Structure 1
Amino acid sequence: MRIALLSDIHGNLPALEAVVADIARRGGVERIVNLGDSLSGPLLPLETARYLIDKGWLSLAGNHERQVLEVHAGRAGGASDTYAHGCLGEPELDWLRLQRPALRLDDEVLLCHGTPRSDCEYFLDSHDPAAGWALGLATADEVDARCAGEAAAVIACGHTHVARALRSRAGQLLVNPGSVGLQAWQSELPAPHGIETGSPDARYAIIERSADGCWHAELIAVPYDFAPMAALARRNSRPEWERALLTGYIR
């Protein structure tokens, strides 16, 4: 069994198309799943939604799907969610409403956006304000706590945009495919921090169960023509997105 994991597309349709072409080139992938945060941002939320709806892949609700719907319900939102909401029509909003933050593919694979218990909790990474601005690898104790007793052989997550493949103490494969569409970001909560990959490449992963029943992960970086998306971010008054899309750095 070979499954492609996509996450954190953030309305970057050209990056998504490059990833899909790379999956087709490699062959043998039986299923593509999307772990959420698909549309939010100053790029192409409507076009990306329509592309994903047409593909019919299983798509999860990330924290930004929830936040876009909160904007629709009249709650104040951030710039990225507000922009995405303003581009979407009722068919796309209805599609968002059907999504769930976590789903089980079978007894072996659990899909979530953040962790099994929250759509906005970091799973494989942590931020220690005393250690600086960047996210760092979560400790084994943190990872085990965030598994929340989940016994699936594979847990796939997104949210941080950091591509990682770890093993829990119980031997579970824990995979974050990284971000398809945004390779650097920053947050002010609960303390200022961010992530920089140092590359504008689109990221995804393939997980595979071999004949002996063991699961393996391949983390993949795909080059694409990022300049038009960076220019679009600039036109939409988001210089931090422009820099992230051009370079994989935010500062």
Structure 2
Amino acid sequence: MRLGVLSDIHANLPALEAALEALRREGVDEVLVLGDLVGYGPHPKQVLGRLIKEGLPALAGAWDLRVAYPLPGDLPEGVGKATLAWTRSQLSERELGYLRSLRLSYRKGLGQGRLVASHGTPGRPEEHPDLLGPFSALLPLLERYGARIALLGGRHLPLARRVGAGLLADPGSAGLSLSGEPGADAMVLDTESLEVRFLKVPYDLGPLLFDLRAWGLPPVLEKVYRTGRFPQQG
């Protein structure tokens, strides 16, 4: 099976549309979305509407849970905190209910093993394993879930790593890429050969930046969309 994988859309509708179109051109059999559908960007309602219309399987990310539930503890001051209440205010009870309905993990049996997907560590969407860490720390991730493939979104950086006979991968961020290059990240995975191909999909920034300014959202986001990095990064 050729699987298209997206993650971290972060309420960026033009990026989502461009990434979906690119995956269609690739002829993938299915598309899986690894969470953080909302937060930061100006299109939370539109992004959820598109995913619901497409009927794509999506998982809950940490941002989806923050928006859907009044979780204890405040976010530190910054871009995230500045967009949280606004994002929640844009969504209807039906859309908030959709976020609450999202599962924390996805499992699928394959011919040669199991695929497990989540935002961050399964069951803990705010915990992001270091996919560049030692082999001895990564192999238990596969063994714990009896998985040949583990797809773990949330770090906003595309990365795939073979661990023994298995694979761990993060598709990067469709809507808020931090790879140092603007555009939407998407991943195509052959679940039999474990061949991975990362796509960097350009999209029109004009409508995104117009809506960002129109809603008075933090202007630093404009720099992130243009450069693929937060300004404080080197």
TM-score, normalized by the shorter chain, greater than 0.5: yes
Tell me what 1:81 maps to: 84
1:25 deviates by 1.5
1:121/1:30 CA distance change after superposition, 3 Å: same
Amino acid at match of 2:115: V
Distance 1:138 1:230 in 2: 36
Report Cα offsets for 1:79-119 as digits up to 9, x if no partner.
33322111100111111111111120225211111023521
| Alignment match of 1:97 (pick from 100, 103, 119) | 100
Tell me what 1:200 maps to: 182
Secondary structure of the residue aligned to 1:108 is strand
1:147 deviates by 4.5
Secondary structure of the residue aligned to 2:153 is coil
Distance 2:140 2:148 in 1: 16
Distance 1:109 1:14 in 2: 29
Tell me what 1:25 maps to: 25
1:51/1:172 CA distance change after superposition, 3 Å: same
CA contact (8 A) 2:3 2:191 kept: no
CA contact (8 A) 2:8 2:173 kept: yes
Tell me what 1:108 maps to: 114
Secondary structure of the residue aligned to 1:207 is strand
Distance 2:35 2:97 in 1: 15
Moved over 3 A (4+): 73-77, 144-148
**Runs of 5+ unmatched residues, structure 1:** 126-136, 185-196
Distance 1:208 1:237 in 2: 38
Q: % of aligned pairs identical?
A: 31
Distance 2:102 2:217 in 1: 30
TM-score, structure 2 normalization? 0.87
RMSD: 2.0
1:231/1:144 CA distance change after superposition, 3 Å: farther
1:242/1:148 CA distance change after superposition, 3 Å: farther
1:232 deviates by 3.0
1:152 deviates by 0.8
Secondary structure of the residue aligned to 1:215 is coil
Establish whether residue 244 from structure 1 lines up as the match of residue 203 from structure 2.
no
**Runs of 5+ unmatched residues, structure 2:** 76-80
Distance 2:172 2:40 in 1: 17
Distance 1:70 1:76 in 2: 13
